[in-house]
A = this chain, B = another copy of it.
Amino acid sequence: MRDMSLSKREEWDTMGFNPHNCPIRSVLDHVGAKWTVLILFELQQGPQRFNALGRALPDISKRMLTQSLRSLERDGLVKREVFDTKPPSVSYSLTDMGVSLMQPLVGLVNWAEDQMTAVKDAREVYDAINV
């Protein structure tokens, strides 16, 4: 499966579609990650402090919360602000780019909500047939 035409591969690479070398993938990876979408939705309601996010997101560990926020910050979707008080206070908020992501993201999530019973049904049928 390696003997594809070079033109096709180059086309893909320049379009950023090749999963091995892909700027688009970084966005899709956020969507696929376990917590980032939830965090983005929570931040949509306004800036939040670290522990407030933790309380709002059931079952997320501090480790994953930190890690998820860092990856979002790294890609410019979330802004992190440290206020040097004691005890320390850190505020997270959506950047303009982060805000602009929400529209297509909401579109996808809305589709998922609308179709989730259909998906569930299809899955049950499939699982019933395939032992």
Contact = CB atoms under 8 A, between A and B. Distances in A.
Interface of A: 1-2, 4, 8-9, 12, 15-20, 23-24, 26-29, 31-35, 37-38, 54-56, 58-62, 73-76, 97, 100-101, 103-105, 107-113, 115-123, 126-127
Given A31-B32, A122-B75, A112 B58 contact: no
A80 to B, nearest CB: 10
A81 to B, nearest CB: 15
Contact of A60 (B1, B24, B126): B1
> How many copies of this kind of chain does the complex include?
2
A23 B104 contact: no
A4 B19 CA distance: 38
A46 B8 CA distance: 18
Nearest to A119: B75
Given A54-B1, A100-B115, A24 B109 contact: yes
Closest 10 CB pairs of A and B: A32-B32, A76-B122, A23-B116, A27-B112, A104-B107, A24-B112, A104-B108, A74-B126, A104-B111, A31-B31
B23 A112 contact: yes
B27 A119 contact: yes
B74 A122 contact: yes
